[in-house]
Amino acid sequence: MPELPEVETIKGDLRELVVGSSIERAEVLDPALVEQPSVEEFVHRLAGVRVTGARRRAKHLIVELDTGDSLVFQLKIGGQLLLVPPVEEPRTALMLVLHLDGGRRLFLRDQTEFTRVRLLDAGELEARLSPLGPEPLEEGFAVEYLRETLGGRKAQIKPLILDQKVVAGVGNIYADEILFDARLHPRRKANTLSDAEWRALYGAIRENLAAGVEHRGTTVRLYRDVLNRPGEHQNYLRVFEKHGEPCPHACGGEVVREKVGGRPTHFCPGCQRLSGGGEEQRLTLA
């Protein structure tokens, strides 16, 4: 599933390869893709426009146009944007084709068919993005924010860091890795975390997401960049989908997989104890 690092990678590819191009026409192959406006208006408003920029907000990929509109993609589980050429033309699971100048085409394919796109004006875009939490790799994100926002809550820590209104861009893969690094059980209640554990969580969020960006995303199954290349961060995962394997910390435990907040979750019960906040753990994490 494209999370912050994957969408950041695609954004960079679009800036390099597509920004400055004109969209001659849009071809919608799956009407369910377009959530706003109507398919007819979507196609009409994209004809002859120029791509002026690309940016990311949380897991939203935003393609800016010279009309002031923005194409806003949510790639969900399996969405891929592929530039043809140089990529070979995809033949299956196609949802959208943007015909660009110079004979190039930007294909959106998704085997899961969950990807959605909106064409929004400036006011609609602002309203769409306004509920999102801070960007965890930007300067405004701080340990004090996490502690003050979540420290009084009795909810489990994993669903909280997956909440896009709390931390923008974290998804299931990176959440498991973050909690493993911070040595926090995914079911720990936020109001039980010590100051040292908040610092560990904050550091793990930034370090894991930055590493994912550096490695151009994680390809577990479907993720590809605009040139159809897999990411590399899957080679650095410690617990995600590693259930049944020994803990990477050599604690003698084994990585397990359980449902937490309705999501498949991977962790080491030996390193990530459900009881926490004691003096021994605070000293270990400090």
Could you give the residue ranges of the DSSP H alpha helices within 18-168?
A: 39-46, 122-129, 143-150, 157-162
Q: From the candidates 59, 158, 183, 188, which is the catalytic residue? A: 59
Asked about 2 being catalytic, the answer comes back as yes
Q: Is 3 tagged catalytic?
A: yes
Of the candidates 3, 8, 177, 197, the residue annotated as catalytic is 3
CB 54 within 8 A of CB 14: yes
Q: Which of 15, 263, 273, 282 is catalytic?
A: 263
- Kindly state the tokens that stand for 231: 């990411």
Q: Is 254 a catalytic residue?
A: no
Q: What count of other Cβ atoms lies within 10 Å of the Cβ of residue 262?
A: 7
Name the phi and psi angles at 88, rounded to 5. Answer: -65, 140
Annotated active-site residue 154? The verdict is no
Distances (CA, A) of 239 to 181, 193, 203, 281: 10, 22, 18, 20
CA distance 155 to 149: 12
Active site residues: 2-3, 59, 263
